[in-house]
Structure formats: structure tokens, C-alpha cells
Structure 1
Amino acid sequence: MLHEPIAAAPAESPARQAEERTFRSHDGTEIFYRFWPAVSAEAKGAVVLFHRGHEHGGRMAHLVDELRMPDHAFYAWDARGNGRSEGERGYAPSFSALVRDIDCFMREIAGRDGFAAQDIALIAQSFGAVLAAAWAHDYAPKLRAMVLASPAFSVKLYVPFAKEGIALWQKIKGRFFVNSYVKANLLTHDPVRIASFENDPLITRPIASNILVELYQHAARIVADARAITVPTQLLLSGSDWVVRHPPQHEFFVNLGSRIKERHVLPGFFHDTLGERDRAKALDLIRPFLEGQFVSPAEAVDLKQADIAGYTRDEADRLASPLDLLSPTGLYWALSRAFIRIGSWFSRGMKVGVGTGFDSGSTLDYIYENEPRGLGPIGRMVDRTFLDAIGWRGIRQRKLNLEELIGTSLAMLKAGGRPGHILDIAAGHGRYVLDAIAKSPDPPASVRLRDYSDLNVELGRKLIAERQLPASVSFQRADAFDGDGLARLDPAPDLAIVSGLYELFSDNALIARSLGGLARAMQPGSLLIYTNQPWHPQLEMIARSLTSHRGGQAWVMRRRTQGEMDQLVEAAGFEKLDQRIDQWGIFTVSLARRL
């Protein structure tokens, strides 16, 4: 049931009346939103509004008329746990769940009203602006533009060490709620807005501790890696903001990878930038920016050469550069490598990594099993610490996301009358594919697992035998980058899977050759599942301390932004349909269709 208001929310503008709608998000939560159709017979595009924390879409409704863009449709949601949407007040399972809600909202808009991402601009404020920026970073949508007003990348907590205290208390006690300290007269100078805020029964004062802690973590990630965002962006900052800090906002702007970007500081404005008394000054900046982007051709920044010249190439080159062994940094990483060697005497997982490479199929299969083993209790304790590293937790979540999308794909293929021939071109031991088909109610016609490593093929065949799987499930040695070999596959795969492979190779020509071979083999309507690593918190530790399966050399990875990976897939002839990402923002799993 929807959360019923005690009294009516602030009245909608009489000029453009809103339709009230709902949709079911990824976990079944019912999200309420308002829709204002364009006044003209044919809309020139759509503008989606995202409210600040504690509030709801009704408090953004005034912008529909004040922006004076009658030829554009408008949307405004109530985020889960807020306003008239379902969910415990002020709570979400994670920050990433809220970001995925945005992705589901955009799919709702596209499916119901036909507005694709390139037809949409976002206007987002405060906490909503951080969510919007995270969505643009993690999902790489082809948005027409976005306007971020006073993004809450860093909330001012006036109690010393409040952020650290909240995180510590959550570890000790578990989830709890923090009430907002902000008074309405610190948000805006507009007396009408102040009164409406104080009397609005849909304002949600508490916010869950997990969301506060994760807000800081994800905001830091998005600000530091804003080069990945290429959407035309306008940033509006309130000059007298009592709620959030300015330095991260300016850092975000400097880091933005958008070719078209604007920054405006509005003197004297409090935090509610778009609800200030003099907000006409802000709206007079937004209107021409959005109208200009809507009339301009929607041209994405070409990222397919980012392996040759790009910021992730620069990052990888720095990580591959040797350190002076006598420098403090050099000594630190030398000790780190030594500790890993010593740890491998006790920890089974570390021994497998040292012996076969930490990026090998054997290591990943051990990570999937997630059972600490080693020399006595100390060895098992060391192994548990190894298995609980954030990167390995992300790998295990990637496996779950793979299994989900494999199941979804098999259901789609069955509905389309396809037999369901599965191919994985670099399966490791193949555990995630075998686990996925075991869970699926739609058995595939065949499963062909492939890998370049003789050891992986041997152990993969052993796993198939242990599970007593039929002859339609096979494992062969093959090169995933042999485009011509892939193109000759018979029968053609209805579902091709590439997991954890492309992340290990920085050269986009290799990836294009592999994807091109798959595309030549696959019929229109066939499906592709591919993974990516747009971000990782331990890149330097991996590069300086861990070894690869390729001759024991340093494991240096070049990240691909999600936009770069999606463009490589699109260039091969596929259309992206859906995506999953773990709660830390490390690994993505995407589903695409052969055009």
C-alpha cells in the first residue's frame, strides 16, 4: 500500500495539472510519481525532477510552470521511503538501490511514454543531485543534459567527528536513524516555502544511518572519478549554503568529463537553490541551457580510443611505472608483497593466487566458493580476511548479478521461441554459468564453455562431471580473441557471455575483435551478457602487490568507464538493454541484444 498523506501536499500549478502514477521498482517497491504532459501536441523532450533529501516530488512541482517550457513533458518522483512512495520512512537498503531506482524510473518513462534517455534532461537538487550524478557515472545513460543544484557531496555535520561516529555506532548497534537538524529558514529566504516546509506532512525528518554513511562513500567516488561523466552538465551552487560544503562541488566540476559544462554560484542563496526567494535567477540560467541542449544534435563523446589517450590510460601508466625501492612508498609496497608471500604459507586462497595469478580462473573459483581454508586456525583466519577483501566481495556480487541476468536471458529467449544455446568465451572454471542454469526454470538447449587455459578447461570439465550434467554441456579450449573462430560457431549462440575477461586487457582493439566475432556469429535478437569494472578502490594495491596469471607479472588494470565499454559493445552491433552494479560501484553486469 502507498503511504497515505495526512493532508494534501503543496498544490500543483493550475496551469499544468499532473497525472498521478506509480511503478514497481527492481525489488517490487511501489514508487509514486507525477507526470505533466507537454502542452503542445508533440513534446520536444522530457525533464525529470529529483527532489532533495527528506522531501518529495510535490515540492519540485512549482518548477513545471516557472521554467516556462510548455513544449516539454515533466516528471517528478517521490524517492522510496519519502512522500507517497512505499518504503520505511527515510530508509533504503543501500545508496545503490536508490540509484537503481532511477534506472527503473527511466525505463518506466521510456516504456510508457516513449522518451528514451537522449530525449531526457534531469534537474536534481541536493541529495537527489548526488543520486543523479551517480546514475550518470555508473550506468552511462545517453542523457541529453542534466542540471545539478547544490549537490550534497559533503553535508556539513557541525558536531566534531559526527561522520566517523555515525559509521562506528552503526557497526556496533546496526542501522539507526538520524533526524535532520536543518530548519526551514536555513534552506530558503522565501516565506511561502518556509511555511510550506514546516507544515508539509510528507516531509520525512529521519534518515537511515546506512544511507548517510554510504552517501559520503559514493559521493567521494563520484567526485574523484567525474571524468567518467560526459553528459552536458550545468552546476548551480548556493553562495550561502548552510547545509553542504562547497569544495567537493567545485572539485566535481573541475573533474567533469563533459565537453559542455557550466558552473554558476548564486550569491546569497541558501541550500534550497530552486526554492529560493530569488530563484528566477537560477531558472533564467537553467531554461536556455536545457533548451539549447534539446535543439542541439545528441552527440555522445567518442570513448572507443580511451585506451590510447584518456585518463584511465594515464592512471594505468602511472600504476605500471616502477617505484624507487628505497623511497617510503617503494618500501611500503615491498612490505605488502612480502606479507602476501608470507600469508600464502598459511592461507589457501593466497597460495592459489600466488601460484596461478590473482586474476586466474582458479583464484576466482576459490573466491566464489567463499570457504576459508588454510594451515590451522590461524591459516583459516588469514584466509577469511583475504576472502573478505572488498574486491572479492564485489566479485561474488558480480556472480549473483550474472546468475540473475542469465536467468532473465533464458526466459526472454524462451518467450521468443529460441532454443537457448549458451556460449561463454572465457569461463574460468565455469561455476557461475553452471550455477545459473541449475537455478533457471528454463533449461538451455546447450552450454558451451571455453577458456584459453588448459588448467581451467581440465577443472571445468571436472566440475561438469561432478554435477553429472548431460552431453549438451561441454568445455573446450579456445581463444576468446579469435574473432574469425568465434564467427564460425555452429550452432550460433543465442546467449553469449563474457565475464571478467575484457577487464584484464587494456587494448580496445582486442575487445573489438572479440565482440566483432561474436556479432558475426549471432543472429538478430540474440543476447549478450558482458561485465565491466568502471571503478575499484584498491587499484594501486592490486598493481603494486598482486601478480597476474600472465607470467607472474604485476596485475595492472586499466579501468574502462561504463560509457567506454557500452560504446565498444554498441559499435559491434548490440543494443544495451539492462545493467546491474554492486553496492560499492566496482563491477557491472550488462545485458545487450544483437541488432
Structure 2
Amino acid sequence: MPVQNLEALSRPLPAWHPKRWYFALARGLLQTVGRLSKGIRIGLEHGFDSGVMLDHVYANRAEGTGFLGRAIDRAYLNAAGWAGIRNRGALLEARIVGTIMRAAEAGGVVRVADLACGGGRYALNALARVGRRAAVAATLRDYRTENVETARANATRLGINATIEQGDAFADADLDRLGTVDVAVVSGLHEIVDDDARVKNHVRQVARILKPGGTLLLTVQPDHPQLEFIARVLRSHTGKAWAMRLRPMELTRRWLEAAGFVVEHAEMEPLGIFGVVRARKA
């Protein structure tokens, strides 16, 4: 998405614009009757792009106050963007399983790091599917305490033994503490960062912690059908408007290749909103 369009979504609409009235009404409904929905309450408290929010979306279980609250939550969870997120999670989960099993063929322990795990569902589900078929040492990180706590609860529920800790995916010192890994996962992180230079550099940072021949699994978001509604109505985990940065797949490919990766596979989920890229460190 061009920078000027992103900036335009962050600017208030003129007072006379009908869309301004529509979006104001939508915000009012979220703040009132919308609070009956658990998902909307989570979004208002933690941000609609937060790890806590995504964990509720992945669970896909309508919850709320009374029948109306549950009905609102079901409609909310059925939104195209959230359906795409669940598709992305299923696709990424399958890619994690396949990548671990392929790495395990070389023998030894496969070291996996999810650098911004949120509630950790897709990674933990993947580890559960791998089970005893491979020896895995997994580290799941997130920089927000509530996400780490959610991921730990999910790991306990699934009976998964993994290191789950707080860490900044963009901090060199935190990345260095991981040592070198066989598989790195970056899901849903770059999509909430609007600084292209920071994302491009992060690809290089991840390359540094991967072993030669190691694999990066990276999510991308080239499109979104509700872009303006989200930017005008919903708040992110920072408290600011949730103005997404859309990036074409080709741009991500160029950044990966410049960082020394070979893109082996790229696949979009069925709705065409999100994709998963598998890249090998040359």
C-alpha cells in the first residue's frame, strides 16, 4: 500500500463527509452494545490487533453477555478478516509441522523460535502435531506480558513443553540470546509495522540467528477488504488507529533475497488476504 494512502487513512475525514458519520456511528455501537461481545471487549481493552484478540479469533468460540452478546460475537468472528486470520493460522501450522519434520531428517534436535507468538496457538498446535516424531526445542516469545501468559496457558492445556518468555523481536540483544536456530517463525508482526526500513532490516536480523540452510516462515498481507473501516473504527494495541500496512508479495521476496534467503514456497490462504512464505537461508 502506498505510504500516502496509509497516511490518508490516519487523517480525520472532513466533518461533512458521510463516511465520517458512518464510522462515528460504528465506533459508538462498539463502545455500547458491542461490549456485550467478548471479542469486542478484548479489542477495546487490549487493541484489535493484539495477541489476546488473535487468540480469541483462533479459538473461534462465540462468547458474550447473554444471547445477544454471543450473537454479536459470532458475527464479529465471522468477519472476512478474522476468517482469513484463521486460514493463515491453519496454513502456517501446517508449514511449521512440515518444516520441522524436514529438518529432523538430518538428525539431532530441531531448534525452533517463534519471535512474536501472541497467544501461541498455531505454533503450539504444530508442536502437538509433531509430537514424538521429532526432537524439538521450541522457544516462543512475545514482548507483551498478557500474550506470554496466554501462550503459557495454551501450552499447559496442550501438554507442550516449550520455553515461553518475554522478548522483543526487533532487539538485537534479545535475538542474540536465542543463539542459532533451525526454524524461525515471524507471524503477523510485519503487518502491524508501517516502517518499511524497519521490516527490511528485521529480515536481516532474523537471517543472522538462523543456521545455514535454516528456514524462515514469514506471513504477508498484500490485501484486506475492510482496510478503511478498520483504520477509521478500530484501535491497535498502541491505542492509535489500526492503519494496516499492506505489502505486495514481490516486495517481501526482494527483501528476503537481499538478506541472503532463497524463497522456496509462497502460498496465499483461500480468501487471498494473507499468505505464508517459506524461505531458506543460503
**Same fold, TM exceeding 0.5?**
yes
CA–CA distance in structure 1, aligned partners of residues 50 and 69 of structure 2: 22
1:586 equivalent in structure 2: 273
Q: Please say if 1:353 is aligned against 2:40.
A: no
Matched AA of 2:59: E
Choose the corresponding residue for 1:421, options 111, 114, 121.
Answer: 111
CA–CA distance in structure 1, aligned partners of residues 49 and 214 of structure 2: 29
Choose the corresponding residue for 2:201, options 488, 496, 513.
Answer: 513
Matched AA of 1:521: I
Q: Is the 8 A contact 2:91 2:276 kept in 1?
A: yes
1:463 equivalent in structure 2: 154
User: 1:464: how far off?
Assistant: 2.0
2:70 equivalent in structure 1: 380
CA–CA distance in structure 2, aligned partners of residues 331 and 443 of structure 1: 56
1:219 equivalent in structure 2: none
CA–CA distance in structure 1, aligned partners of residues 129 and 212 of structure 2: 27
Q: Is the 8 A contact 1:407 1:440 kept in 2?
A: yes
1:476 equivalent in structure 2: 165
Matched AA of 1:503: E
Q: Is the 8 A contact 1:426 1:452 kept in 2?
A: yes
User: 1:560: how far off?
Assistant: 0.6
Q: Please say if 1:407 is aligned against 2:94.
A: no
CA–CA distance in structure 1, aligned partners of residues 94 and 124 of structure 2: 13
User: 1:393: how far off?
Assistant: 0.2
Q: Please say if 1:501 is aligned against 2:189.
A: yes
For residues 520-563 of structure 1, the C-alpha deviation after alignment (integer angstroms, 9 at most, x for no partner) is: 1211110110001001111001100111001x211001211111
**Where do 1:524-539 residues align within 5 Å?**
524-539=212-227
Matched AA of 2:83: R
CA–CA distance in structure 1, aligned partners of residues 271 and 160 of structure 2: 35
Q: Is the 8 A contact 2:108 2:135 kept in 1?
A: no
Identify unmatched segments of 5+ residues in structure 1. 1-310
CA spacing shift, 1:469–1:408, aligned 2, 3 Å: closer
User: 1:419: how far off?
Assistant: 2.3
1:450 equivalent in structure 2: 141
Q: Is the 8 A contact 2:34 2:72 kept in 1?
A: no
1:337 equivalent in structure 2: 27
User: 1:444: how far off?
Assistant: 4.2
Q: Is the 8 A contact 2:128 2:158 kept in 1?
A: no
For residues 230-263 of structure 1, the C-alpha deviation after alignment (integer angstroms, 9 at most, x for no partner) is: xxxxxxxxxxxxxxxxxxxxxxxxxxxxxxxxxx
**Where do 1:12-51 residues align within 5 Å?**
none
CA–CA distance in structure 2, aligned partners of residues 352 and 478 of structure 1: 22
Matched AA of 1:486: L
**Structure (1 or 2) with the larger CA radius of gyration:** 1
Q: Is the 8 A contact 2:30 2:40 kept in 1?
A: yes
For residues 372-427 of structure 1, the C-alpha deviation after alignment (integer angstroms, 9 at most, x for no partner) is: 01111111111110000000000000011001111110121022335211100000
CA–CA distance in structure 2, aligned partners of residues 347 and 399 of structure 1: 23
Higher relative contact order (CA 8 A, sep 6+): 2
**Where do 1:186-335 residues align within 5 Å?**
312-335=2-25
Worse-superposed segment, 373-382 or 504-513: 504-513
Matched AA of 2:134: P
Choose the corresponding residue for 2:122, options 408, 429, 432.
Answer: 432
Q: Is the 8 A contact 1:414 1:420 kept in 2?
A: yes
Worse-superposed segment, 565-574 or 497-506: 565-574
User: 1:439: how far off?
Assistant: 1.3
Tell me how many residue pairs correspond in the alignment. Answer: 281
Choose the corresponding residue for 1:364, options 54, 71, 86.
Answer: 54
Matched AA of 1:576: V
CA–CA distance in structure 1, aligned partners of residues 174 and 203 of structure 2: 12
Q: Is the 8 A contact 1:419 1:494 kept in 2?
A: no
* TM-score, scaled to structure 2: 0.95
Matched AA of 1:485: D
CA–CA distance in structure 2, aligned partners of residues 421 and 454 of structure 1: 23
